[in-house]
Amino acid sequence: MNGDALLLFLQADRWRIASVAGDDIHLADVPLAGGSPLETIPQVAEALKQLDQSPLACLGLPSSMIFAAQVDCDMLPRKKRRTAMLFRLEEQLPLDVERLTADFLPAKGGKALGLAVETSCVKEILDQLEAQGVTVTSVCSSSLLAASSLPIDSLRNCDYLIVAWPAHADVLRMSDGQPVAWYSTAPDAQELDQCLCVDMVTNPPPGDQPAISVIGTFDAGVIAAIRQHASVTVLQDQPDATEHAAARSAQAIARGRRSGWVDFRQGALATPSGWTHLAKPAKRAVALAALLLVVLTVGFGVRTARYEALAAELIQKQQDAYHALYPLQEAPVNIKVRLLSDLRRLSGTVGADSNVPDQPSALETLRSAVASLPAAVRLRIVQMRIAPNGLLIEGQSRSHSDAETITQAISRAGFAMDPPHTERLPKEGVAFILTGKAAKKAQAAMTGEVKP
């Protein structure tokens, strides 16, 4: 079954697994091997695989692993109040505060209930579970988990809450719905009677007859002995009632609600960062990135060396060419610029600058113009001027239309002619002036250039 909550009970002789799926609770046992819970953790992980259970768990600790004491909260400093409470708790416990992970319930009547576990023992269990792939989200007291599952009205209406386990019983003195004192005894009538009597004498509860609620199963004689001092309400008198109640609290924790009053998953026992499981892949990625950087650096270095060698070879060829031209001169820094400068200087000396265009021949212009004159038209050429790119013709013809015919004939020879200027002569005929420029194709033919 794939449940929505998982509670791992650590008990004196076994691990008990409570898997919660909706309203159903499935219990499974893993006996302790040689009395050591650490040696049995692989079997716990295997049992979880058989249950097809998500490896997110709440760890329930037995009362034997939890230290409890009341801490006087009077005259505590405002700053570092929790640290001062830890030192006051240390005064009542057999271990130094550095070896403990503690949590406190809010103070009632000037005193707070302090609960602590030995850090190294619990951390060993958590590390072993994590190594088997079981993620523990919270570490709580099994008894407090069972007690906190009750409705708030039931908690507020009782003075004592007794949680029954197979090997022991936990007596919680209640005030305003939360524990203010905690006693752990054997589950027999005499021990419970003495525990209740001592607490009632040292701290009398309100009213003549205190109200006691019981979770779990006791012998009839135990319930009868308790009734001599108080009104007893048996809330859950059935097998596995305590485990079911604690499992319900684990389900509430899995759903994001606070339950159990205290959680030791803090300080040295805090949940590892969510990035912890990515530590190894991240280290590998960094190593690969560093290796890639080294490879790229070496590759770029080799390529740079090749380019430098090629550049040095080309520079040497330029120097050899320069020394061939100027044997007695030292090669300048920029040989190309020096050679271009010398080329321009020499070109200017001989007048052979390649940038200066060739001029068309005047004779070719004259020949083209004369050859284009129409043979059927009578005309007289008075003056003809030939310019590099054009011509001017002054002459006489019989009529204006003859001047226009002459202009069109010259245009067909490749000249861009302007409209003719004509004037009638005093006696007979027309005087004309024709101007035009040689077109590009005509210029190319005159200079010998071939244009595509």
Give pLDDT tens digits for 72-110. 988 888 888 888 999 999 999 988 989 999 999 887 878
Report residue 219: phi and psi, to 5°: -65, 155
Residue 53 gets which letter from DSSP? -
Q: What is the DSSP string of 371-405?
A: HTS-TTS-EEEEEEEEETTEEEEEEEESSHHHHHH
**Looking at the chain, which residues constitute the CATH 3.30.1360.100 domain(s)?**
362-447
**Looking at the chain, which residues constitute the CATH 3.30.420.380 domain(s)?**
5-272
CB 139 within 8 A of CB 145: no
CB 200 within 8 A of CB 210: yes
Structure tokens given for 98: 């550095």
CB 38 within 8 A of CB 124: yes
CB 220 within 8 A of CB 241: no
**Amino acid occupying residue 79:** K
Q: In which band, very low, low, confident or very high, does the pLDDT at 236 lie, cut at 50, 70 and 90? A: low
More confident residue, 21 or 449: 21
Q: What CATH topology corresponds to 362-447?
A: Gyrase A; domain 2 (3.30.1360)
How many CB atoms lie under 10 A from the CB of residue 255? 10
CA pair distance 104, 312, nearest whole angstrom: 79
Query: What pTM was estimated for this model as a whole?
Result: 0.59
pLDDT at 291 over 90: yes
Domain boundaries 5-272, corresponding CATH code? 3.30.420.380
Largest CA distance in the chain: 166
CA pair distance 235, 157, nearest whole angstrom: 13
Task: State CA 189 to chain mean position distance.
Answer: 61
Please state, for a pLDDT cut of 90, what percent of the chain lies above it. 25
CA pair distance 19, 2, nearest whole angstrom: 8
Q: In which band, very low, low, confident or very high, does the pLDDT at 279 lie, cut at 50, 70 and 90? A: low
